[in-house]
Amino acid sequence: MPSSSATTPVAASRGAIALALTIVYLVWGSTYLGIRLALEGGLPPLLMVSGGRFVLAGSLMYAVLRWRGVPAPSRAQWRNVAVMGLLLLLMGNGLVVLAEQSVSSGLAAVAIASVPLWFGLFGALRGEHPSRGEWLGIAVGLAGVVWLNAGSALSATPFGLVCLLIAPLAWAYGSVWSRGRDLPSPFMTAAGQMLCGGLALVLVGALHGERLLAWPSSQGLLAWSYLIVFGSIVAFSSYVWLLGKVRPALAGSYAYVNPVIAVALGAGLAGERFDAHELGAMAVILAGVVLISLSRAKSPKAR
């Protein structure tokens, strides 16, 4: 594994890419339910549900990597990792958590689903122009998410709308900005991002007045543990690895699949029901992801 993403990356097999995408699709789709259970269990949103879990996950991951002999990031690499952590975790994840306290979940899902669109635009500015098939897949996937949430009450406060406007922009820009930067190995990059972004989230949460007033419930602690191990260490590391291996449109396609996974888990675990309207919308979403994946497979760079 190269020590810096500025070096020529080793081509990844389709199996490894498919596995990483599956992890991001399934695990991040399940974190909707995990975050809800953690909040219901009494954990403060920025202080622990977002910031605390990233600090703990990043610390554990950093310690294990150093113990295994992985070099620590250089000063320049720490600077790049910190920028990514602030853009992806503080502004991307943190603003969504704040927004979901005052906006409908449907509107939040539609806003998050705009990430692949911003991926395509920012990638084009860097010379990585999405193909026609990828643009078609982005449009189809976004239309499916809008359809999926068409029956919900898309209510929001002005503050919530601003948060939902900035969050996907920051996440997509930070992801595209990282490509070709001087960074440590993918897993050390993920650990450093979680440390930097998590500390910033904890600080903002404390300044926001968040406090742990009582010991969380066992349900809340279990959900928080799941978010730390799977949502942060496993899925976020897979996502960071994908950023250096696939085109931006494919890396951002998780934003279409996550709402589908969230709806399916809600039906299976929380007893929620969905009808033909939602099944049709999910089929459209998956069609968009298939279009993006097939476009990648047909591109000369992918071959």
For 119-169, the pLDDT digits (tens) are 877 877 777 777 777 778 778 877 776 776 665 555 567 787 788 788 888
pLDDT tens for residues 169-228? 899 899 999 888 899 999 999 999 999 999 999 999 999 888 888 888 999 899 999 999
Written in H, E and C, the secondary structure of the chain is: CCCCCCCCCCCCCHHHHHHHHHHHHHHHHHHHHHHHHHHHCCCCHHHHHHHHHHHHHHHHHHHHHHHCCCCCCCHHHHHHHHHHHHHHHHHHHHHHHHHCCCECHHHHHHHHCCHHHHHHHHHHHCCCCCCHHHHHHHHHHHHHHHHHCCCCCCCECHHHHHHHHHHHHHHHHHHHHCCCCCCCCHHHHHHHHHHHHHHHHHHHHHHCCCCCCCCCCHHHHHHHHHHHHHHHHHHHHHHHHHHCCCCHHHHCCHHHHHHHHHHHHHHHHCCCCCCHHHHHHHHHHHHHHHHHHHHHHHCCCCC
pTM for the structure as a whole: 0.79
